[in-house]
Amino acid sequence: MKISDLLSSGPLIWWAILCVVSVVNVVAWTLAARAVQRGRKVTDSAHHAFRRWQLGLSAVFVLVCAFRAVFPRADVQRICLHDSWLSSVMIGRTLATVAELCFVAQWAILLRALGTRTGTGLAVTMSRLMVPMIAVAEVCSWYAVLTTSYLGNTLEESIWAMTALLATAGAASVWPRLAAEHKPFLLGALGFGLCYVTFMVTVDVPMYISRWLADRASGRAYLSLMEGLRDVSVRWVVTSHWDAWRSEIPWMSLYFSVTVWVSISLVTLPSFFAIARPASPPLGASRRTAARDRLPA
């Protein structure tokens, strides 16, 4: 086989692997859904509602990631593997926006539950900031997609990194009030958060900065928002050459596998939500609560 053939078939092999992983992801989510259904009779209503929210939000993320894996594309470059309207950047970016908001909402719900349960104000505050911050990141992403300026991607990924850092700080604040036997899980979550932030600030954000600076150095002309809106709806460039996909394959591979697994895993955490140890009530609160409980209805 010629080198040129290998370079052309490489992204197609990668795509086939992504499709298999996506099927596995859907099956894993289905198993998680069955576990939630089976557990509804052995968990209280609050815990079951928590799991249902996680399950619904995860469903959106898992299905959209599966769609994006089957019809991969690079938004700013307008490249894709399949000559189909389903490869349109408009469709893919719209679905990705909804899915990413659902994913960050999963983390916000978990962090708020832990913060509320343990009486940790920082965790609750951080949970309230997460979705609005990612909404701003999505606006930056759309700016990049429409204008083809990597400045938008730079801002988008920087906001994701900051959001993850704040969420990790919020989760760390729960540590002192968490039962010792359950701290290993939180330690793993903190490690994941720090690894994500490290990857973003050392790999992802610098990549987009270098692309933006290279475009500026070459005098690249950007599209207006209206020009970009039409462009993302009607133009896609079909290519399976390795050079076109080389910089996209690493992050897409992690995104459509590890990130999806994290989303599904959040569905199975009601026990973690339940075991958070409530903060000690203020002095005199126990007496007031006991007196209130003795009052007639």
pLDDT in tens, 201-224: 999 999 999 999 999 999 999 999
> Which residues form the domain of 145?
3-268
Tell me the mean pLDDT in the region 102-123.
Answer: 91
Query: Mean pLDDT, the chain, as a whole number?
Result: 87
Q: How confident is the model at residue 177 (pLDDT cuts 50, 70, 90)?
A: confident
Could you give the CA distance from residue 266 to residue 187 in angstroms, rounded to a whole number? 15
> Which of the four pLDDT bands, split at 50, 70 and 90, describes residue 271?
low
Pairing relation of β-strands 79-80 and 237-238? parallel
In a domain, 33, yes or no: yes
How many Cβ atoms from other residues are within 10 Å of residue 64's Cβ?
21
User: H or E segment at 114?
Assistant: helix 89-118
In a domain, 277, yes or no: no
Residue range 222-237: average pLDDT?
93
Counting Cβ atoms within 10 Å, is residue 73 exposed (0-12), middle (13-18) or buried (19+)? Answer: buried
Phi and psi of 276, rounded to 5°?
A: -60, 130
Residue 67 lies in a domain: yes
- The three-class DSSP label of residue 89 is helix
Helix (H, G, I), strand (E, B) or coil at 178: strand
Residue with tokens 């801002």: 155
Alpha carbons 234 and 227: distance in angstroms, whole number:
11
Angle CA(217)–CA(218)–CA(219) in degrees, nearest 5?
A: 95
What is the reported pLDDT for 166?
95
Q: Is residue 88 part of a domain?
A: yes
Dump pLDDT digits (tens) for 42-88: 666 777 788 899 999 999 999 999 999 999 999 999 999 999 999 99
Q: Which residue, 100, 86, 117, is CA-closest to 182?
A: 117
pLDDT for position 42: 62
Q: Has residue 295 got a pLDDT over 60?
A: no
In this structure, how many other beta carbons lie within 10 angstroms of the beta carbon of residue 282? 8
* pLDDT over 50 at 229, yes or no: yes
pLDDT of amino acid 142: 97
6-38 pLDDT per residue, tens = 445 789 999 999 999 999 999 999 999 998 888
Question: Scanning the structure block, which residue is given the tokens 């994500």?
Answer: 196
pLDDT reported for residue 43: 65
The answer to whether residue 222 sits within a structural domain is yes
Q: 237: part of which helix (H) or strand (E)?
A: strand 237-238
Instruction: Report the length, in residues, of the chain.
Output: 297
The share of the chain scoring above pLDDT 70, in percent, equals 87
3-state secondary structure (DSSP) of residue 174: helix
Alpha-carbon span 221 to 291, nearest angstrom: 72
Q: What is the pLDDT of residue 119?
A: 86
Per the structure, the count of domains in the chain is 1
Of the candidates 254, 250, 157, the residue with the CA atom closest to the CA atom of residue 209: 157
Q: How confident is the model at residue 285 (pLDDT cuts 50, 70, 90)?
A: very low
Residue 276 lies in a domain: no
Give mean pLDDT, residues 242-259.
Answer: 92
pLDDT at 175 over 70: yes
Kindly state whether residue 294 falls inside one of the protein's structural domains: no
| Residue 276 confidence (pLDDT) above 50 | no
Secondary structure of residue 210 in the 3-state scheme: helix
Give the pLDDT mean for 104-120. 90
β-bridge mates for residue 237, sequence order: 79
- Residue 186 and residue 109 in contact, taking contact as beta carbons nearer than 8 Å: no
CA distance 190 to 175: 10
Return d(Cα 182, Cα 174) in angstroms, integer: 12
Find the mean pLDDT for residues 282-295.
44
Say how far residue 285 (Cα) sits from the centre of its chain. Answer: 40
Q: For residue 297, is it within any domain? A: no
